[in-house]
Structure 1
């Protein structure tokens, strides 16, 4: 360098990292995998005392399999700093109980903020009853802000005999856990600061939500038959997925509900307060004030346009939400496992259905501005619905029709062009034209992440 100055890395006789203060160095160390962070003690005498007292980020996935049984208990026992995030996805809880008895209490004493126990070494589904219990002390770790539990079972009779103290818990995720419906309701109610709830593959057939703080809920209904939002005055977003074989979805008190989906006309029975919206209603059946949820602005519905009973249900669902601004519809076929005798194809009658259907308030009241049809295939019964929208939607500003990449190939160019031409032929009252898009199918993990990220105004957007 000019003037013979020393390189920056050796200026003043030392490394620039070593010139940082201890607080900054500790923050750097906490960003490293635990194996690398521990190695910093050999870099310099000054570093020797930084990692043991830095906030601990422990992820057992960073450790080689043979070393986990030894390293995890030792790190938890010897680390002097507080615990910020502990992720035990592969470590065997029985080994931890043996090597470090009382470790759940230690998590509370070290003021753990985030804990993930997902027991990836679970037994096959036919032996699910032998899953290990969640240590009761985990439910009394008052510093926890984020808790993820998977492939475990809750203490027996949680709602009657186990104290729960989770006053700071903001986010709760339960994946494939054994818990009764009553205990689940008690757990959610006891988490008085809970903002985000994620439930998937639960064992109870009955799931009822009561929470005075909950804002967002992601619920997998693959095993649930009776789902209800009983009392959730701050709930803004309810995302349902994995519809399973059928469930009653009841919306009781949720005055601030803005986003709802996917309601599935194939398997869901919608109940609003005490009124059940049954499938197979006559096309001109009107909604009453007791079957309206005026707060919902974004709605997602799944439907098979080729089945008349599902078209009836779709029309009935739409009438319950008079103030929808954005409507997403996923066009699907019946699952191959569904008996052919249970399917009533609409055939030549689908056009007549939409001609006779009664008014849908969200279309004719200038409220609905955006609509997207996902998983579009270009079938005639889908276009009959779009004709109905074109004739009745008085405020629609954009329509996106999405064909999934992979459902079409170079040999299907003719089909894509035909669909595009048919869209251009539609005459909307607002003068818009439908836009045909061919997009890759979004992965399930990305979809679920958006569902609970409130920075996404519309979690169903492609």
Structure 2
């Protein structure tokens, strides 16, 4: 049913959704569902309101038909309003629905989601009036993504939510300019995502300066500036990706500078381009997860470590806190990887997306007179994707088989057809009977593709110790 609150009937009050009554039980006695409903109805209004707020807006409105006990709960429950195809596929229908919801809802505002909405002229003014509605006072979560080209500005009235927002995801629009005075303050915002947004360098720095409690930041396919500096005492995770240049004069995100981030644990450049072309980390003493790093990043500076096109060229000190490294390797190139191992001597997990290149031999020998701390004491898990079983692949993997002394698991993401006979032959070629770690186990699996490393969806899920470990989340596991 397309109309949730605007449909009216003679048998119902004009401000209630028109929905069918639940069927009565055949014997006239209360069914099991009726008993369950009675038990649920005994819960306090606050709990029932929280439950209702988790439902899609149509289902939440339908609860008014359950019984007299539920009739007024939805109007006082926290508002969770998602304007999407589930609400209505027709623009002429969802506009009056949303307008009436905002005019009649009495409860606090929790979430407003406007996703994939065409910002045509008549809708632009309508959105502005929606954002000014008293029903959205105290809004905590805001999602907005426009789809019209060229992008239109985000209605400035959306910035009035700044004092109460905890989560904001904004994309497909031009971000309004922010004057330095008065400053835009977002004192409760913990999660910010800017996606396919045009924003000036001054505006993005003023925006970030006002986020005094920010914990996660995602900057994805942005235009309008070339460099951004991060200074935050609270940030724990950063995800960044770059956009293709639209024209020769188009400014795109090319440089990320982590100037001072004492709580930062994850820095994840993602996407096929692997993030900005230049990354500089001046102060991030708790950084533990780093990558996806690719050849698209021309220069990485980590304190006194300088890495140019995936090859370390200066190593005065090392990053001992980094435990998880995710990178691309052309070839795969063993010389490049070994150099990076010295940059991160305490690394425990290594993810490698191999880009096959036939001219690399990978015949490097491990110098026991110059041991690497990582191989001797720490490296426990290696995931090698795009494994084809060619000689460079075998020589590359064999280096770790023969030298990683505390290795627990090595997984091969195989991108060619394979069977038991093929795996038995690979085990022989890899010399698994000569493995350096007695406890090491080796698994050949179908390559999961680039998505998990390129477009990681768990960058900001801090409950996952390793956001790249697909075994920790059902949504990443193969069905």
Determine if the TM-score, normalized by the shorter chain, exceeds 0.5: yes
SS at structure 1 position matched to 2:400:
helix
Q: Which residue of 2 aligns with 1:259?
A: 289
Give matches, 1:15-414, under 5 Å: 15-16=38-39, 18-61=41-84, 62-66=86-90, 67-92=93-118, 94-95=121-122, 98-99=125-126, 101-106=128-133, 110-119=137-146, 121-123=147-149, 127=150, 130-135=151-156, 137-138=158-159, 140-156=161-177, 158=178, 160=180, 163-203=183-223, 204-223=225-244, 224-244=253-273, 247-265=277-295, 267-273=297-303, 275-279=305-309, 287-289=315-317, 292-305=318-331, 311-333=334-356, 346-347=359-360, 349-351=361-363, 353-354=364-365, 359=370, 361-403=372-414, 407-409=415-417
1: CA distance, partners of 2:254 / 2:353: 22
Report the TM-score when normalising by structure 2: 0.78
Q: CA deviation at 1:376?
A: 1.5
Q: Is the 8 A contact 1:319 1:360 kept in 2?
A: no
Q: CA deviation at 1:117?
A: 0.7
Q: Which residue of 2 aligns with 1:453?
A: 461
Q: Which has the higher helix share?
A: 1
2: CA distance, partners of 1:196 / 1:56: 24
Q: Which moved more, 1:375-384 or 1:294-303?
A: 375-384
Report the TM-score when normalising by structure 1: 0.81
1: CA distance, partners of 2:165 / 2:451: 27
Q: Deviations over 1:170-202 (max 9, x none)?
A: 111111011123432332232011111122111
**How much is the aligned-residue C-alpha RMSD, in angstroms?**
3.4
Evaluate the alpha carbon distance shift between residue 380 and residue 360 of structure 1 in structure 2; reply closer, same or farther with a 3 A threshold. Answer: farther
Q: Is the 8 A contact 1:140 1:164 kept in 2?
A: no
Does residue 422 (structure 1) correspond to residue 433 (structure 2)? The answer is: no
Evaluate the alpha carbon distance shift between residue 354 and residue 95 of structure 1 in structure 2; reply closer, same or farther with a 3 A threshold. Answer: farther
2: CA distance, partners of 1:328 / 1:25: 45
Instruction: In structure 1, list runs of 5 or more residues that go unmatched.
Output: 335-344
Evaluate the alpha carbon distance shift between residue 182 and residue 420 of structure 1 in structure 2; reply closer, same or farther with a 3 A threshold. Answer: farther
Q: CA deviation at 1:453?
A: 0.9
Evaluate the alpha carbon distance shift between residue 281 and residue 174 of structure 1 in structure 2; reply closer, same or farther with a 3 A threshold. Answer: closer
SS at structure 1 position matched to 2:456:
helix
2: CA distance, partners of 1:87 / 1:457: 29
Q: Is the 8 A contact 2:174 2:199 kept in 1?
A: yes
SS at structure 2 position matched to 1:87:
strand
Q: CA deviation at 1:26?
A: 2.5
Flag as ranges the 4+ runs of structure 1 deviating above 6 A: 355-358
Evaluate the alpha carbon distance shift between residue 452 and residue 101 of structure 1 in structure 2; reply closer, same or farther with a 3 A threshold. Answer: closer
1: CA distance, partners of 2:134 / 2:328: 43
Evaluate the alpha carbon distance shift between residue 193 and residue 139 of structure 1 in structure 2; reply closer, same or farther with a 3 A threshold. Answer: farther
